[in-house]
Amino acid sequence: MKLIIQETYEQASEWAAKYIRNRIVHFAPGPGRFFTLGLPTGSTPLGCYRKLVEYYKNGDLSFKYVKTFNMDEYVGLPRDHPESYHSFMWNNFFKHVDISAENVHILDGNAADLQAECDAFEDKIKAAGGIELFVGGIGPDGHIAFNEPGSSLVSRTRVKTLAMDTILANARFFDGDLSKVPTMALTVGVGTVMDAREVMILITGAHKAFALYKAIEEGVNHMWTVSAFQQHPQTVFVCDEDATLELKVKTVKYFKGLMLVHNKLVEPLYSMKETEAERSHSKKPYSD
């Protein structure tokens, strides 16, 4: 894995956004050649979304040929509820950029047959050619998407009942009222995300520090499902200082030392304004 440590939340968000931007621009998406992006929700990726919107507004990045697949959605919450993940994605990302609605895929938590909805989602990912880059976060209980502790590490998209940790963490979005928080969700499986060609996990804040420690310094364990990515060939963890508080000094020093090398992934920062020729002359980003 690459562990990218930035000082603050803003810097971590920006690094992640720059990485995504470079990946998309380098991919050179076009008609019939879509960049498939997996996307998360929650408070962690907000800073990253803000930067991506900024890049679009400056003309440096376009989402016209980007297909997105969100990780999850609550079951039983009306789609236009302000806390649904559809609303989250619309308000924080889609309404600000030039993505087409038919290229957006979010699980429907109100489908008549939930498992069929999940199976169809897997088919859509396959039909799109698989996911190029799956961006995710981590829960305080070490979950990826809603793959709660105990989830199979080879699981696929399915219905999950939320763990108490997750419900407590989400209560702040429902006026602090536990009874208002949905108890079930549709989620991509650990296996689904593992199938992506590359995975980027955003982890910021001291409250995520223990989960990060469990995910990268201990073994692969279904109680901390993010640990599954230790077995993925291309994983990037982007975090701020606070999130590293439970890691060994040795680990932090090692990866901070690698920042010189890792920063080459975001510098130079490419833009869609450049011509095809300018881009192909630049060096391919370093990979581990």
Name the active-site residue from 73, 105, 132, 143: 143
182: its two tokens: 């949905």
- Answer for the pair 248, 217: CB distance below 8 angstroms, yes or no: yes
Strands 2-6 and 235-240: parallel
Question: Rounded to whole angstroms, how far apart are CA atoms 258 and 262?
Answer: 6
Name the active-site residue from 14, 141, 198, 240: 141
Report, in Å, the least distance between residue 78 CB and another protein: 12
Tell me whether residue 95 or residue 126 sits nearer to another protein (CB atom). 95
Among 148, 157, 247, 238, which residue's Cα sits nearest to residue 194? 157
Tell me whether residue 59 or residue 233 sits nearer to another protein (CB atom). 59
Among 168, 265, 144, which residue's Cα sits nearest to residue 216? 144
Q: In a 3-state reduction of DSSP, which class is residue 62? A: coil
Binding site for another protein (CB under 8 A): 79-80, 86-87, 90-91, 94-95, 100-102, 104
Residue 119: active-site member:
no
Tell me whether residue 23 or residue 86 sits nearer to another protein (CB atom). 86
Residue 143: active-site member:
yes
Report, in Å, the least distance between residue 44 CB and another protein: 23
- Answer for the pair 227, 219: CB distance below 8 angstroms, yes or no: yes
Report, in Å, the least distance between residue 175 CB and another protein: 17
Name the active-site residue from 14, 117, 132, 148: 148
Report, in Å, the least distance between residue 60 CB and another protein: 19
Tell me whether residue 103 or residue 166 sits nearer to another protein (CB atom). 103
Q: In a 3-state reduction of DSSP, which class is residue 158? A: strand
Amino acid at 55: Y
Q: Where are the alpha helices (DSSP H) in the chain?
A: 9-27, 46-57, 85-92, 114-127, 164-170, 190-194, 209-216, 249-257, 259-262, 276-281
Tell me whether residue 98 or residue 123 sits nearer to another protein (CB atom). 98
User: What is the dihedral sign for C-alpha 175, 180, 183, 188?
Assistant: negative
Residue 141: active-site member:
yes
Tell me whether residue 93 or residue 134 sits nearer to another protein (CB atom). 93
List Cβ neighbours of 228 (8 Å cut-off, separation of 6 or more). Answer: 144, 153, 190, 194, 220
Report, in Å, the least distance between residue 200 CB and another protein: 25
Report, in Å, the least distance between residue 80 CB and another protein: 7
Which residues carry out catalysis? 72, 141, 143, 148
